[in-house]
Amino acid sequence: MPLLSLNPATGRRLRAYPTHTTAQIESALALAHRAFLGWRELAPSARARHLRALAKQLRRDRESLATLITREMGKPIAQARAEIEKCATACDYYAKHGAAQLADETPAGAPKHTRVVYEPLGPILAIMPWNFPFWQLFRAAAPALMAGNTVLLKHASNVSGCALAIAQVFHDAGLPEGLLQTLLLSSAKVPRLIADDRIRGVTLTGSTEAGRKVAAQAGAALKPCVFELGGSDPYIVLEDADLDLAAEVCASARLVNTGQSCIAAKRMIVVNRVRREFERKLTARIAARRVGDPLDPHTEVGPMARADLRDELHAQVTRSVQRGAKVLLGGQPLDRPGWFYAPTVLTGVQPGMPAHDEELFGPVAAVIGVRDAAEAIAIANATPFGLGAALFTRDRRRARELTPAIEAGMVFVNASVHSDPNLPFGGIKQSGYGRELGLPGIRAFVNVKTLWVE
């Protein structure tokens, strides 16, 4: 069956894409391996030149690529432009720092005639989601390519146009053939790819359920993996927090990409002493966000990416309200074409409600009242997820004392959780394992080889 691309703002069909045949998949695997044999021989400085060319091409094509993102998955155009720029920034970062990060080392205390070297593995399979259709790929691909690997991309079916556009960017930037190839195929064909001896590693961004399946397949084939999976990020607001700052950051972090982000603010855990005031400020800020046509540069909240995702979100809100949560704002789909959901604030959220226990992947903020900081951290950790977290307090010393107790791969104080090419990105528990970006990102898919030369 073809892969369908639909416009979330209208619900109308954009295009149908035929899937690749078995012969085409085999050809891509062979080309990825051949390209690797030449690419790995290039000096890091030569690879860096190609990454800089890639960054320049992304910036040249920013408007057309951003428009494609918006049309295929509904991201507000201003955020789509920022996504393309962030991809270019990641390419520039690894072009600048990759050679040093891959340089041979002699560890402290090791014999003088020993070295540790970092060598590429081969073709890496990248299984990517729709919510950041360019950034998720470049976040993984830029370091993998700089390390000397090649990449095969299996993207989400609803952003097939973006997937093909990514491959076109590589071509237009003049990069060697086969460094990155897009495969249009169903998830049913992924196990065969993972099992193929030419695939040397797997990186996946997606749901925890998808991560479990791919982890089992990769484990059977003994392939190294990096997984960035679901999240239910807690944003803890203590009684001494700057409430205006906290409300503004929480509103922005909850509604980024229409709430469809693994690191969006999901649960606002607020000390009861300031909860009502925080709720008023948060609700006012969320209500002020402009909902509308995602191609309008003034739009801040667009449609959800698919009808089924909107319906699932509404079911979670409905069940939470039936179990006692109160709606301060929104709480229903919008009566207009496309898959829009009203920006929503729920309060009185308790254990046993979907808004408390599950990931809400859309523009719904859940406010949970707690007695004190100790209970806030206990609630923050009472989740199978452990991706990001944020803490709001005016006392930096108190923040330093509390952050070690928060179970997450990333903790931000008085700021929203976000990715930066300089810093490791990833989570713990059912939010995945391994790290992207920073130094760990470029060493995720390398052979850490010990050399002992007498």
* CB of 106 closer than 8 Å to CB of 112: yes
Q: Is-catalytic flag, 105?
A: no
Q: How many CB atoms lie within 10 A of CB 321?
A: 17
Annotated catalytic residue, options 228, 279, 300, 358 = 228
Q: What is the 3-state secondary structure (H, E, C) of the chain?
A: CCEEEECCCCCCEEEEECCCCHHHHHHHHHHHHHHHHHHCCCCHHHHHHHHHHHHHHHHHCHHHHHHHHHHHHCCCHHHHHHHHHHHHHHHHHHHHHHHHHCCCECCCCCCCCEEEEEEECCEEEEECCCCCCCHHHHHHHHHHHHCCCEEEEECCHHHHHHHHHHHHHHHHCCCCCCCEEEECCCHHHHHHHHHCCCCCEEEEECCHHHHHHHHHHHHHHCCCEEEECCCCCEEEECCCCCHHHHHHHHHHHHHHHHHCCCCCCCEEEEEHHHHHHHHHHHHHHHHHCCECCCCCCCCCECCCCCHHHHHHHHHHHHHHHHCCCEEEECCCECCCCCCCECCEEEECCCCCCHHHHCCCCCCEEEEEEECCHHHHHHHHHCCCEECEEEEECCCHHHHHHHHHHCCCCEEEECCCCCCCCCCCECCEECCEECCECHHHHHCCCEEEEEEECC
Question: Residue 343, class by beta-carbon neighbours within 10 Å (0-12 exposed, 13-18 middle, 19+ buried)?
Answer: buried
Which residue in 246, 302, 311, 315 sits closest to 274, CA to CA? 246
Question: Residue 59, class by beta-carbon neighbours within 10 Å (0-12 exposed, 13-18 middle, 19+ buried)?
Answer: middle
Q: Is-catalytic flag, 262?
A: yes
Annotated catalytic residue, options 162, 262, 300, 359 = 262
Point out which residues pair with 450 in neighbouring strands. Answer: 116
What does the alpha-carbon distance between residue 315 and residue 92 come to, in Å, rounded to a whole number? 43
Give me the active site residues, please: 228, 262
